[in-house]
Amino acid sequence: MINNKTKYTELIKAEAKRLGFLSCGISKAEFLEEEAPRLEAWLNKNMHGEMRYMENHFDKRLDPTKLVEDSKSVVSLLLNYYPEKEQTSESYKLSKYAYGTDYHFVIKDKLKELLYVIQNEIGEVSGRAFVDSAPVLDKAWAAKSGLGWIGKHSNLLSQKTGSFYFIAELIIDLELEYDTPTTDHCGTCTACIDACPTEAITEPYVVDGSKCISYFTIELKENIPSEFKGKFDDWMFGCDVCQDVCPWNRFSKPHSEPLFNPHPDLLAMTKKDWGDITEDTFRKVFKKSAVKRTKFSGLQRNIKFLKP
């Protein structure tokens, strides 16, 4: 006879698949012992730059029971965003995750529906959905749940689908069957370390966030330091270099989420178009996009920095 834990686990994974998630893994909600010293060392070396929020809620980042009372399980989910078509080589570049509708909205809706189904089918289950919006170490949880391993570029990697996907979590007060971590398959490869234009990957598995192009073009509110001039490889919002060169990403397949499709004008825009962009065009092309985070003035600053 199937016990309830097995039944509930199967229900959650089947529902995640129905909602379009790439994969679903489950871990016991407990203190992340291995990650604690790593996070502390990373913060002590100021590798978070101006991202001061990374210093907050240290305990909550490492212990989900401090985020959700009586939590028993962390349900980790991956959602593919790899696009069918990419920008022209004549364009300044956006990270592929930002082509379509802001993923926070898309995933939050799916997670709400997943939680609703769990409550409907199982009964009184309390929990919270997380999409990059709270102190949760999503990559660590996804790795713990067997969805992949943390690569040398510090992104989650899977042998079947590479790394072009979002990670989200449901933390719930329900005991389930737990998955086990997978093994590391980076081997001797250093493609991501060798290719990083700003040498932000200081050693395997360690990224100095304060040197990363994504940090400069999205998080940094002040002027970009002049010593990085000419090192951005035409990236105006985010950067995909370490993922683009990763051999495992040859297995990436285009997503099937219509909301992640880019605005028709986006893929056709050239460097000249970006240089001449008006606030109206910015609003039209990025109406519901994550690019709005950098604001029109931020994108203009990034484009000016890229110009020779």
Q: What's the Cα-to-Cα distance from 170 to each of 105, 254, 279, rounded to whole Å?
A: 15, 25, 37
Residues 198 and 161 in one domain: no
Residues 101 and 228 in one domain: no
How far apart are alpha carbons 2 and 157 in whole angstroms? 32
**183, burial (CB in 10 Å: exposed 0-12, middle 13-18, buried 19+):** exposed
Backbone angles phi, psi at 28, to 5 degrees: -75, 135
Check 59, 63, 132, 179 and give the catalytic one.
132
Residues 198 and 74 in one domain: no
Neighbours of 304 (CB within 10 A): 11
Q: Is 132 a catalytic residue?
A: yes
pLDDT tens digits for range 257-284 = 999 999 999 999 999 999 999 999 999 9
**Six-digit token string for 135:** 């102190």
Provide the domain limits for residue 288. 191-251+263-306
Coil, strand, or helix at residue 113? helix
Question: Would you state the pLDDT for residue 49?
Answer: 75
Q: Which helix (H) or strand (E) holds 110?
A: helix 103-122
Number of domains present in the structure of the chain: 2
Residues 247 and 290 in one domain: yes
Question: Which residue ranges of the chain lie beneath pLDDT 70?
Answer: 1-2
Backbone angles phi, psi at 207, to 5 degrees: -115, 125
Question: Would you state the pLDDT for residue 2?
Answer: 64
How far apart are alpha carbons 134 and 32 in whole angstroms? 16
Structural domain contains residue 179: no
Tokens 């990403």 appear where? Answer: 249
Left, alpha or beta for 254 (phi > 0: left; psi -120 to 50: alpha)?
beta
Residues in contact with 274: Cβ distance below 8 Å, sequence separation at least 6, in sequence order: 91, 92, 236, 303
pLDDT tens digits for range 72-119 = 999 999 999 999 999 999 999 999 999 999 999 999 999 999 999 999
- Average predicted confidence (pLDDT) for the chain: 94
Residues 240 and 273 in one domain: yes
Choose one of 172, 202, 223: the last residue of a domain.
172
Question: Would you state the pLDDT for residue 308?
Answer: 83
First-residue to last-residue Cα distance in the chain: 69
